[in-house]
């Protein structure tokens, strides 16, 4: 876990946050974070207006190869949590946004020891197919 996200978790704890739920959904070649919800110890939703530093990667094509640069950006804490979730989703290499897509959530418990769970559900279309040879029917008539 990067020092940036550890610092963000510490700032959230200091502001009274106990847990975070980040929900995402995607299909048809796109996907997005649907919500970032921060809760206190009484499981009540909180609005925390903090600005934090989080690293953002940029990739671009140079001299027939991809080059990636990381730049530290200042952003609202909810945007940093969203970026963190996208980063972790990318690491799973699960295609949750193309075709039938997928959905899920990241749950972060900030009590005592930080615990993070990422649940990714993928959708798929299933079908059953049968083939019949009807050539004999033509010969019988």
Domain encompassing residue 76: 3-140
For the chain, what percent of residues have pLDDT higher than 90?
72
Banded pLDDT at 76 (limits 50, 70, 90) = very high
- Which contacts of 1-4 are long-range, i.e. CB under 8 A and separated by 24 or more positions? 1/114, 2/55, 4/52, 4/53, 4/54, 4/55, 4/72, 4/80
pLDDT higher than 80, residue 139: no
Banded pLDDT at 140 (limits 50, 70, 90) = low
Q: Tell me, what's the pLDDT at 43? A: 95
Average pLDDT for 57-61: 84
Greater confidence (138 vs 38) lies with 38
Tell me the C-alpha distance between 58 and 125, whole Å. 34
The residue assigned the tokens 């730049």 is 71
User: Structurally, how many domains does the chain consist of?
Assistant: 1
């Amino acid at each position: 876990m990067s020092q940036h996200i550890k610092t963000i978790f510490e700032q959230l704890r200091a502001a009274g946050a106990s847990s975070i739920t980040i929900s995402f959904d995607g299909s048809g070649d796109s996907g997005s974070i649907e919500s970032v919800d921060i809760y206190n110890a009484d499981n009540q939703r909180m609005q925390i207006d903090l600005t934090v530093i989080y690293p953002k990667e940029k990739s671009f094509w140079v001299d027939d190869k991809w080059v990636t640069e990381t730049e530290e950006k200042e952003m609202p804490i909810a945007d940093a949590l969203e970026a963190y979730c996208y980063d972790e989703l990318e690491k799973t290499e699960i295609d949750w946004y193309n075709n039938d897509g997928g959905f899920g959530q990241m749950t972060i418990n900030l009590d005592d020891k930080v615990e993070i769970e990422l649940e990714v559900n993928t959708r798929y279309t299933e079908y059953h197919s049968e083939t019949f040879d009807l050539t004999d029917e033509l010969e019988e008539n």
